Amino acid sequence: MRIILVIIGLSLVFSCKSEPKKENTESPATESLMAGSDTLIYPEEKHFKSIRQVTFGGDNAEAYWSFDDSMMVFQSNNKNWGMECDQMFLMQVGDTFQDTIPPMISTGMGRTTCAYFLPDNKHFVYGSTHLVDPKCPEVPLRKNGKYVWPVYDSFDIFVADLEGNITDQLTDTPGYDAEATVSPKGDKIVFTSMRSGDLELYTMNLDGTDVKQITDELGYDGGAFFSPDGTKIIFRASRPKTEEAIAEYKGLLSQGLVQPTEMELFICNADGSDLRQLTFLGNANWSPFFHPSGEKILFSSNFEAEKGFPFNLYLIDIDGKNLQRVTHGKTFDAFPVFSNDGKYLAFSSNRNNGGTRDTNLFIAEWQD
């Protein structure tokens, strides 16, 4: 699960690193694009030619483009929209929602996560708990003093049209099934499942057939995305190694919980072969997405942070070289997703939230 609550939780639990790198403390330049009292583009953010804020309240994240780049689907728990927990919303690219509410395209029941367009631009996949309980499930944030994510066994993956009508159910095995994303080739879905007893990655056809397990190492494998040509998969994973860490991981998992505070990025072929670890940075490295070239990964990390935050976006080559910082916020930047034509980047950020904990969607015009 890629839960927006990470924004609050991770900032509370990370201990100081032994040799932390210092954050840049320069003041924003006066010529930066401004809104309210916060800066939308910091002077160091050279990859952003322009930027536009899309939402203005609540927690908004995981905005994914339609195959023709004309629409986006995203999740929000904005209480001003009547939400008690995350539901899915549709936007036309160019829309903003400062004074309006986008159309909800999930059922409005249960909790939803990780929507993604199908190639016809008329349907999307997403995870939902609504079959088990129409109410929002509880969200435990801490266990034994440590930050945790719930991995609800009530999650299954559904297909719906853009009016919110469910047209298919792709999973029905016991346990967690969620985090589905679609190959740019339009032929496969990758998702995370507990069906083996651990949180592993699987692929399947768009109709749910031909399910294949592609990872099999102990730890939480999730947040997976295909490369632009569909030949590779990038994902983030925890890899407990010590007896103590393994026991803690298994104990939490038996309670439907994971602790996402130590994660690194891994890359493999679309069939799971040639698996290798990409980052060795420490702390939480997650929400990876391929650069349009297919030769770089854009991801969120707090590896430079002293106390668990800020999270910023970084680029790294697929061979693990040439790490480069992209954003220079003071709180949280994550969930980066390039448009299919490579011209725009959607991401979530705490910037320009007036000092609240709101996480909003932004679309930046990208330049290499």
Give the H or E element holding residue 7.
helix 6-13
- Confidence (pLDDT) at 317: 98
Spell 129-162 as b/e; 16+ CB within 10 A means b. bbbeeeebbeeebeeeeebbbbbbebbbbbbbeb
- Confidence (pLDDT) at 28: 30
Give the H or E element holding residue 10.
helix 6-13
Distance CA 108, CA 10 (A): 28
Q: Classify the phi-psi angles of 82: left when phi > 0, otherwise alpha if psi is within -120 to 50, otherwise beta.
A: left
- Confidence (pLDDT) at 33: 36
Instruction: Spell out the domains of the chain, with CATH numbers in brackets.
Output: 6-366 (2.120.10.30)
- Confidence (pLDDT) at 38: 54
- Confidence (pLDDT) at 3: 44
Instruction: Give the Cα-Cα-Cα angle 210, 125, 111 (nearest 5 degrees).
Output: 120
- Confidence (pLDDT) at 19: 32
pLDDT tens for the chain, residues 1 to 368: 544 444 444 433 333 223 323 333 333 322 233 333 357 999 999 999 999 999 999 999 999 999 999 999 999 999 999 999 999 999 999 999 999 999 999 999 999 999 999 999 999 999 999 999 999 999 887 877 788 999 999 999 999 999 999 999 999 999 999 999 999 999 999 999 999 999 999 999 999 999 999 999 999 999 999 999 999 999 999 999 999 999 999 999 999 999 999 999 999 999 999 999 999 999 999 999 999 999 999 999 999 998 888 999 999 999 999 999 999 999 999 999 999 999 999 999 999 998 899 999 999 999 99
The amino acid at residue 323 is L
The residue assigned the tokens 């322009």 is 50
- Confidence (pLDDT) at 4: 46
